[in-house]
């Protein structure tokens, strides 16, 4: 049993070990004050962190606003430049062209001559100038003719300006062959070999714009590989020639005679040529003849004369009959119609003529008109 003294000693030990005052900080700081100071520091750190986040958010907002302003300024500048370029392209170029055409028309009217005769030219609207930023894709045909240059040259040789509708810039450009042949990939100085499957070559040229010193024009030449005459398939050619009275002027039947004589020089023994004429009636001026028989061909050409009306339907049907007689399988079977106007005897509706041409084309006989 514990006596009273022992119990008192135990209680005193408990008081001394667990119920006494808190120990002091080794540096002499009060623990309560230390906790309060730590709490204040924590609160200050949290507030500082919030300030940093807010500051970063503000900086990010400023950067975004700055970028938006720069983008808007660039967009406005681009729109202004496009508008200015568009106005220059659509205003300056057509004005220059209109001035040229107007002066040509006045000069042509003042001449009082009629080199054109009864010839009429279809009116074509000028292709509008487009901005590549708005229309980056352009499609175009590769079957442009070259006849406008020779026609314009004819007017000029006779001392007169051509009518504006007769001047077709694309045909005048295509009249002249590209100076650079289709070249081999390995050596651009040597013509391409026939065995290499490269269909065409492209050449670019830059030049200052004649109507705006701040603009540059780009000319693109697409040149196909030339085929040698000896490599062409045999040809069965039927010339259907209008010999009506309206073909008498020098730029009609006499011009056709000269052109045919030039063609004769390129014909080969395996080629056949037939000449059919039509006016008030039809006539086979030259039956199918080998291309190397130049004497007979030129004699038939010299005998062509113009008189009478224009019975084109009968002449066209006779030409197809002759083409079928001389048909060359695997060769070129073509009728070349030369005339100065519409048919006025027989079929005169262009749609009926078109139907006839389509029907014969299915047989392998094609038609070209001059």
- Is residue 185 very low, low, confident or very high in pLDDT (cuts 50, 70, 90)? low
pLDDT greater at residue 165 or residue 194: 165
CA geometry: angle 15, 20, 24, nearest 5 deg: 155
Domain residue spans of the chain: 178-226, 229-369
Mean pLDDT of 116-144: 76
User: What pLDDT is attached to residue 16?
Assistant: 44
Query: Do the beta carbons of residue 316 and residue 353 sit within 8 Å?
Result: yes
Query: Do the beta carbons of residue 306 and residue 279 sit within 8 Å?
Result: yes
Find the range with the poorest average confidence among 63-67, 163-167, 267-271.
Answer: 63-67
Residue 208 predicted with pLDDT over 90 = yes
pLDDT greater at residue 187 or residue 215: 215
Instruction: Kindly state the percentage of the chain with pLDDT values over 70.
Output: 65
Phi, psi of 252 (to 5 degrees): -120, -100
Tokens linked to 149: 């240059």
pLDDT greater at residue 218 or residue 68: 218
Residue 14 predicted with pLDDT over 70 = no
Find the range with the poorest average confidence among 58-67, 212-221, 313-322, 361-370.
Answer: 58-67
Q: Which residue has the tokens 């309206």?
A: 246
The rounded distance, in Å, linking the Cα atoms of 105 and 198 is 44
Report the range out of 69-78, 249-258, 303-312 with the highest average pLDDT.
249-258
User: What pLDDT is attached to residue 96?
Assistant: 42
- Is residue 175 very low, low, confident or very high in pLDDT (cuts 50, 70, 90)? confident
pLDDT greater at residue 224 or residue 365: 365
pLDDT tens figures, 188-198: 555 555 445 56
pLDDT greater at residue 195 or residue 228: 228
Q: HSE-up of 274 (CA within 13 Å, CB side)?
A: 24
SS3 call for 14: helix
Find the range with the poorest average confidence among 32-46, 242-256, 287-301.
Answer: 32-46
Query: Do the beta carbons of residue 109 and residue 103 sit within 8 Å?
Result: no
Phi, psi of 358 (to 5 degrees): -65, -40
Residue 268 predicted with pLDDT over 60 = yes
- Is residue 287 very low, low, confident or very high in pLDDT (cuts 50, 70, 90)? very high
Closest by CA to 275, choosing from 261, 265, 288, is 288
Residue 112 predicted with pLDDT over 60 = no
Distant-in-sequence contacts of 215-222, Cβ < 8 A, 24+ apart: 215/88, 215/89, 219/173, 221/178, 221/180, 222/142
User: What pLDDT is attached to residue 117?
Assistant: 59
Ramachandran sector of residue 159 (left: φ over 0; alpha: ψ -120 to 50; beta: rest): left
- Is residue 318 very low, low, confident or very high in pLDDT (cuts 50, 70, 90)? very high
User: What pLDDT is attached to residue 47?
Assistant: 60
Tokens linked to 348: 């005169």
- Is residue 42 very low, low, confident or very high in pLDDT (cuts 50, 70, 90)? low
The pLDDT mean for the chain works out to 75
Residue 239 predicted with pLDDT over 50 = yes
The rounded distance, in Å, linking the Cα atoms of 81 and 276 is 61
Closest by CA to 291, choosing from 332, 348, 234, is 234
Which of the listed CATH numbers 2.60.40.1180, 3.40.50.410, 1.10.1200.10, 2.40.30.10 matches domain 229-369? 3.40.50.410
Query: Do the beta carbons of residue 251 and residue 160 sit within 8 Å?
Result: no
User: What pLDDT is attached to residue 107?
Assistant: 46
Ramachandran sector of residue 304 (left: φ over 0; alpha: ψ -120 to 50; beta: rest): beta
Question: Please, is 260 exposed, middle or buried when counting C-beta atoms within 10 Å of its C-beta (0-12, 13-18, 19+)?
Answer: buried
User: What pLDDT is attached to residue 106?
Assistant: 47
In 279-314, DSSP assigns E strands to: 282-290
- Is residue 204 very low, low, confident or very high in pLDDT (cuts 50, 70, 90)? confident
- Is residue 95 very low, low, confident or very high in pLDDT (cuts 50, 70, 90)? very low
CB neighbours of 201 closer than 8 A, spacing ≥ 6? Answer: 178, 180, 181, 182, 183, 222, 223, 225
């Amino acid at each position: 049993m514990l006596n009273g003294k022992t119990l008192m000693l135990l209680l005193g030990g408990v008081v001394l070990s667990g119920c006494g005052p808190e120990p002091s900080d080794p540096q002499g700081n009060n623990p309560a004050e230390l906790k309060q100071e730590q709490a204040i520091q924590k609160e200050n750190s949290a507030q500082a962190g919030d300030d940093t986040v807010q500051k970063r958010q503000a900086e990010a907002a400023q950067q975004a606003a700055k970028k938006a302003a720069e983008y808007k300024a660039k967009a406005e500048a681009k729109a202004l430049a496009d508008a200015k370029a568009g106005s220059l392209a659509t205003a300056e170029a057509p004005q220059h062209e209109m001035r040229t055409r107007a002066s040509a028309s006045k000069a042509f009217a003042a001449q009082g001559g009629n080199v054109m005769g009864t010839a009429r030219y279809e009116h074509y609207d000028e292709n509008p100038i487009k901005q590549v930023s708005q229309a980056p894709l352009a499609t175009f045909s590769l079957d442009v003719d070259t006849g406008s240059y020779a026609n314009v040259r004819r007017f000029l040789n006779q001392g007169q300006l051509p009518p504006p509708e007769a001047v077709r810039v694309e045909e005048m450009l295509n009249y002249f062959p590209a100076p650079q042949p289709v070249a081999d990939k390995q050596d651009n100085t040597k013509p391409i070999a026939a065995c290499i499957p490269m269909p065409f070559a492209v050449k670019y040229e830059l030049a200052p714009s004649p109507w705006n010193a701040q603009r540059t024009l780009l000319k693109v030449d697409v040149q196909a590989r030339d085929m040698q005459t000896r490599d062409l398939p045999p040809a069965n050619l039927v010339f259907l020639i209008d010999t009506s009275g309206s073909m008498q002027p020098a730029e009609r039947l006499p011009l056709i005679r000269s052109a045919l004589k030039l063609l004769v020089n390129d014909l080969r023994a395996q080629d056949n040529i037939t000449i059919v004429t039509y006016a008030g009636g039809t006539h086979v001026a030259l039956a199918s003849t080998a291309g190397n028989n130049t004497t007979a061909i030129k004699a038939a050409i010299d005998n062509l004369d113009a008189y009478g009306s224009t019975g084109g339907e009968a002449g066209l049907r006779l030409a197809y009959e002759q083409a079928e007689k001389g048909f060359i399988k695997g060769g070129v079977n073509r009728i070349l119609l030369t005339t100065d106007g519409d048919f006025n005897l027989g079929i005169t509706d262009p749609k009926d003529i078109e139907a006839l041409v389509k029907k014969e084309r299915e047989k392998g006989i094609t038609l070209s008109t001059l």
